[in-house]
Amino acid sequence: MASEVYDEEGKLFGKYYIENRTNASFDDIAPSVIQALISTEDERFYSHNGVDIESWGRVLFKTILSQEKGSGGGSTISQQLAKNLYDRQNYWIFSMPINKMREIVIARKLEDVFSKEEILTLYLNTVSFGGDAYGIRVASRKIFSATPKELTIGESATLIGMLKATTAYNPLKNTQRATERRNIVLKRMLSNGFITDSTYQRTIKEPLLVNHTIDPSSLGIAQYFREHLKLEMDEVLKNVKKSDGSSYNIFTDGLKIYTSIDQKMQLDAEKTVKEHLSYLQTEFDRVWAGKDPWPDENYLMEQMQKTERFQKMKAGGASDESILQSFNTKSNIKLYDVKKDSIVDAFISPLDSLKHYCKMLRSGLLCVDNKTGLVKAWVGGYDYNSNKFDHVKAVRQVGSTFKPIVFAQALRIGMDPCKYYPNIVKTYPEWDNWRPENVDHKQGGSNNMPQTLAKSINVITAAIGMEAGLSEIATLANEMGIHQKILAVPSLSLGSVDGNLLDLCRVYGTIANRGKSFEIQSIKRIEDKNGKVLFDYEIEKKMPKQVLLEDIADLLIKMLEKVVNNGTGSAIRSVYRLEGEIAGKTGTSQENADGWFIGFTPSFLTGVWVGAESPVIKFKYGNLGQGANAALPIWAKFNHKIKLITKIATKIKDDKFAEPSDSLKIILIAFF
């Protein structure tokens, strides 16, 4: 039985299943469905006890003795249910008679245990309507966008008519044949007295109109998130067992998983990522002008050796020469084109296809509620079917997004935020003559902490990091949410640390929540198939730990606001014209391999990463690959879009960051 995934408003947007099945109760099913089923499959259903002797005699010779598999007509609904519940076995030439007798025995037992209504309900919940659609509820939604209760007489006859041949009579594939079959079912309903002649005449004249609903689980809506959700489910339910002591199975136990995802925000996030990646890819390709962006051919050969094609050929004993020849042989290949956001046909070699994907830019976006840590949107890439790697979890060098942690530790030990530090390049002999420089290679003058963070000045940040303590900074980074190993080396102050969007959103969430530890969660509630609550976020959520003093966190918020107002993130104001209180930080890794922007408003925190699949592939020129140009535009455009969502606009209209303490206000006057 399929488990269902719901958004924050209780709307279905995904499933996990081996068979796509969602049960309905007898009262959930329109009477016309039952009437059509009985008229077509088992006219004497209410008068037999599992086996229809009259029908059985008719097919005894055809089905059993003559082995005519298509003759049918003898199995009752109870026998068909037995077949649905228990797969037929292979008994060689005796398979048909033995399986038939087995189904008779099971059908009689089912009649002893279940009522007629229960048997009808079980049958309609287990029968296949073709493809991956099992059960009347799934079929009703898929073909008519209706619940089983809402089906009309004609729609009921259409669905039941499909059971004879789910492909031939599928109205999505063959409207004419499905209409003819529907009318046959209606004729039988008339013969059995379930409908009047006037109803019959009217219904057979009605056009067969489908209202196809594509199963959300097969769409691109939050597909990366749904893969992550499996892992979160395992963690949440690891200590929750069924009554028999076994663990719950997300694919078979019919769980209802209520998440915090906002579908409108999710769609806006996916659209924004694709739009900006299309622009960036165009510029990236133009700048490289047909040249390969990797350092040498060894990189491409290494990537080739990781492919499934190479490994299969190698395992099959193929020589390196024949493998290379295969990779250079052109054929018709389908490729995802990020610039067009579509699958395109190309006549190229597998090696050219590999080059295409190696050059392709990637992105990840994570948006969470600023106060609860509940996930609102999760974009792991541009297209799940083309690349299933989730870039929300991609561990890359975080660049200057790490700097607020350096200043947090400096403030913790009492360093004065108003103090001015010289912007002079310095060599550190005790660290192998490490000599950090600013990105623009300029120096001179002096700056205090807020100015240093706003302008992302490396030279001063490195000096402050040395004074604050490298080991202490590393420890604080872990406490604030970076779940990676951090080496206490001087370059950590400039962001040589590895992390992902989850790590950085935890860090910035800690700041936004005035120093309280910040956990990211997406599951609000889990129920079993009977409605029993297995997990409730409101009950299970942990009390946060106070990692930073409120005054320190509030000061960091003001410093990060300065980044947005007149620092490296100022395009949010000058270019994208976003209003309201916004705090955030750009980040760029060495040689522009990674671009980041982590920013928050009083309501939402959003992190964005942009880069290639491998950090060896970089932007040829610095500006395009910097966080301010690669990642910040996605953040800004996404926040523009969500402000157009009515309920979001209402929520954020008067949102403000918490009021600082009186003592902190005095400090803020000095430099804000």
Mean pLDDT of 597-604: 97
What does residue 354 show for φ and ψ, rounded to 5 degrees? -65, -45
Residues ≥6 apart with Cβ < 8 Å to 403: 453, 456, 461, 493, 494, 495, 585
Q: Which helix (H) or strand (E) holds 21?
A: strand 20-21
- Residue of higher predicted confidence among 121 and 672: 121
Token pair, residue 229, equals: 């959700």
Angle at CA of residue 351, ends 347 and 354, nearest 5°: 95
Mean pLDDT of 297-307: 91
Calpha distance 19→6 (Å, rounded): 19
Q: Does the residue 201 lie in any domain?
A: yes
| pLDDT tens for each residue of 263-287 | 999 999 999 999 999 999 999 999 8
Q: Does the residue 428 lie in any domain?
A: yes
The pLDDT assigned to 417 comes to: 94
- Residue of higher predicted confidence among 218 and 285: 285
| pLDDT tens for each residue of 396-433 | 999 999 999 999 999 999 999 999 999 999 999 999 99
Q: Does the residue 542 lie in any domain?
A: no
Mean pLDDT of 565-572: 96
Q: Does the residue 80 lie in any domain?
A: yes
The pLDDT assigned to 71 comes to: 42
Mean pLDDT of 370-396: 93
Query: What is the pLDDT of the chain when averaged over all its residues?
Result: 90
Domain endpoint, select from 183, 214, 245: 214
Q: How far from chain centre, in Å, is Cα 338?
A: 19
**What percent of the chain is modeled with pLDDT above 70?**
92
User: For the chain, what is the domain count?
Assistant: 2
Res. 82: pLDDT tops 90: no
Model pTM above 0.85: no
Q: Does the residue 287 lie in any domain?
A: no
Give the CATH number of the domain where residue 74 resides.
1.10.3810.10
Give the CATH number of the domain where residue 459 resides.
3.40.710.10
Q: Does the residue 288 lie in any domain?
A: no
Q: Does the residue 108 lie in any domain?
A: yes
Domain endpoint, select from 464, 494, 524: 494
Q: DSSP letters along 642-654, please?
A: HTTSHHHHHHHTT
| pLDDT tens for each residue of 507-536 | 999 999 999 999 999 999 999 999 999 999
Q: Does the residue 220 lie in any domain?
A: no
Domain endpoint, select from 147, 181, 214: 214
Q: 346 with 333: CB under 8 angstroms? A: yes
Angle at CA of residue 122, ends 2 and 67, nearest 5°: 105
Please report which confidence band the pLDDT of residue 60 belongs to, taking 50, 70 and 90 as the band edges.
low
- Residue of higher predicted confidence among 93 and 66: 93
Please report which confidence band the pLDDT of residue 69 belongs to, taking 50, 70 and 90 as the band edges.
very low
For 431, the domain range is 401-494
The pLDDT assigned to 98 comes to: 65
Strand, helix or coil for residue 102: helix
| pLDDT tens for each residue of 611-670 | 999 999 988 766 888 899 999 999 999 999 998 888 888 878 788 999 999 888 888 886
Calpha distance 390→96 (Å, rounded): 49
